[in-house]
Amino acid sequence: MSTLREKLAALPAKPGVYLFKDRAGTVIYVGKAKSLRRRVASYFKPNPDLKTSILVSRLYDADFITTGSELDALILEEQLVKKYRPRYNIALKDDKAYPYLKLTVNEEWPRLLLVRRREKDGALYFGRFQGGMVRAVVRLVKKLFPIRWCVESPLRSREQPCLYYHIGACAGPCIGRITKEDYRTLIEGLALLLRGKMAGAIAKLQVEMARAAARRDYERAAALRDSIKLIEKMQAGKSTLGRTPTPRGIRELAELQQALNLKKLPMRIECFDISNLQGANMVASLVTFLGGAPLKSDYRRFKIRSVEGKPNDVQAIYEVVKRRYAGSLARKMDDPDLVMVDGGAAQAAFGQKALTEAGRSKLPLIGLAKREEEIYLPGHPKPLHLDRATPGLQLLQRIRDEAHRFAITFHREKRKKSFFA
């Protein structure tokens, strides 16, 4: 059988040894199993741990040898490891003991170290790791988390940063380029990653990305965005690739957060629009943008129930916002960081009323009025005006226009059906 998929599908539920190979045909890992089918399938489950993710990302082909017993598989595995010396099996050449990774959270500015023994010193220990794997993990961490890699303890202040800072692998705590709070966020994210909790690691990086964007350090924010994307690629089955903001998206979201005085970066924005023809066939749309890009799986369409035969966009907004945040969708969909309705002061006020009655009054809401492109905040007597060239306003316009397009399309479908009924 020529493909890896076919080989995996044909695995027997028998003892044996499996050999994983990379694209060049080199054996990178040898393992034994009581049941080859069950053991190899475990590598491809959703949300694997860090070691499994790295190994599978390099897997291109595989061979399998069945044995008479589990003991035979153990003996054969040892022989094959000695023969091929796979990079993810062998220990480091200078010591037969598999090492640990030590995260020195007991220090003011923690580091990640490779050590041979666990000690009761307040640090966090991870592993043990096989030698080839520990090197792969450290290389990955250097790409993802810009922590310090110098060996000194405690950290000394410097006037000039080291090479790691210049290549983007260190945030520069020795020259005061990162606060202790932000550095601790990175360390917490790294600890989650080493525990295999990738979603938590992504969340910590997103917090740090938002902070970098808020202080207009867009280069750092873009680097953190790339780290998030790399972790997302490792999340088999639950990747959200394409929804992490681009550098332009980061600027747009950061500007919105500042202009609207939001507590957090508005990564998820939901927008409502109403469409009808003189009150007939009234419908509503809900569009969702995540990281500045459309998330079409979270688009929804509504038939308006509370308004019959006369145009009443304000009542329709009230109805659809309440249905979204008080009904079944509230349990099925994530909470937004910002709610937007198409319209002015009245639509924003009725949208806020719906949120309050749904018990979601803390969700920030705005109205965006056409023509003048004024932003209305509930309870504020005057609208907010942003320059039309402002990237944040342009993002709101794109979202509003998409909600309008989606509502118009549904209205036309409904009107056509009623015409032929």
For residue 235, pLDDT beyond 70: no
Domains plus CATH for the chain?
4-84 (3.40.1440.10), 100-244 (no CATH), 268-420 (3.30.420.340)
Among 421, 136, 98, 405, which Cα is nearest to 273's?
Answer: 405
pLDDT band at 3 (very low <50, low <70, confident <90, very high): low
Judge residue 346's burial from the number of C-beta atoms within 10 Å of its C-beta, 0-12 exposed, 13-18 middle, 19 or more buried: middle
Judge residue 198's burial from the number of C-beta atoms within 10 Å of its C-beta, 0-12 exposed, 13-18 middle, 19 or more buried: buried
CA 142: distance to chain centroid?
19
pLDDT band at 330 (very low <50, low <70, confident <90, very high): confident
- Using CA atoms, how far apart are residues 377 and 367, in angstroms rounded to an integer? 7
For residue 87, pLDDT beyond 50: yes
Q: What is the DSSP string of 223-251?
A: HHHHHHHHHHHHSTT---TT-SPPHHHHH
- Per-residue pLDDT of 44-63, as tens digits, reads 877 777 878 888 888 888 88
For residue 269, pLDDT beyond 90: yes
Q: Give me the pLDDT at residue 358, please.
A: 94
pLDDT band at 126 (very low <50, low <70, confident <90, very high): confident
For all residues of the chain together, what is the average pLDDT? 84
Residue appearing with tokens 């509003």: 400
Among 414, 190, 399, which Cα is nearest to 280's?
Answer: 414
pLDDT average, residue stretch 87-108: 72
pLDDT band at 239 (very low <50, low <70, confident <90, very high): very low
For residue 2, pLDDT beyond 60: no
Among 292, 264, 258, which Cα is nearest to 394's?
Answer: 292
